[in-house]
Amino acid sequence: MTYVSQVRPRWSDMDVYGHVNHANLVTLLEEARIPVLFGEAVKAGLTELPKGVVVVKLAVHYRTPIVVAPDTPVRVEITLTEMRAASITLAYRVHTGPAESDPVAVTAETVLAPYDTTKLRPRRLTAPETEFLKRVFADA
């Protein structure tokens, strides 16, 4: 039940030591989940999920610096670890390079809630969204 995303760190993501800055890594996690929560959701005909998802909780464990060559992506494995009525929990394993065999540099977890942009508050997952999330992570 793992979705794999290849994310290319930008030059601006690097710090003075030549590795991905710890704060910018959070943006890479976001970029890794966008294809599934927004792109794949739109392809599946979902209209509300792509309108808004907010981060409720974020935990990041930095294990080793990520130093990448220009235009070299890092591999981000995303696993759906929990689904509740109004939130999902995603776990991440960020590798130092694009291959599955590259060392894991970062592990992270986000709790995400679907957000109603009209009412300006979190909302419950719909049945189609729940089925989509189960399917996309099971098929990955």
pLDDT tens, 72-106? 899 999 999 999 999 999 999 999 999 999 999 99
Q: What is the pLDDT of residue 140?
A: 52
Q: What is the pLDDT of residue 139?
A: 65
Q: State the pLDDT confidence band at 71, using cuts at 50, 70 and 90.
A: confident
pLDDT tens, 109-140? 999 999 999 999 999 999 999 999 999 988 65
Helix segments in the chain, DSSP class H: 22-34, 41-43, 127-139
Q: What is the pLDDT of residue 115?
A: 96
Q: Using CA atoms in the order 65, 69, 72, 77, what is the torsion angle rounded to 10 degrees?
A: -10
Q: Which residue has the higher pLDDT, 61 or 14?
A: 61
Q: What is the pLDDT of residue 69?
A: 78
Q: What is the pLDDT of residue 11?
A: 86
pLDDT tens, 23-38? 999 999 999 999 999 9
Domains of the chain as residue ranges with CATH: 2-139 (3.10.129.10)
For the cut 90, the answer to whether the pLDDT of residue 68 exceeds it is no
d(CA 39, CA 35): 5
Q: What are phi and psi of 45, to 5 degrees?
A: 85, 10
CB 103 within 8 A of CB 36: no
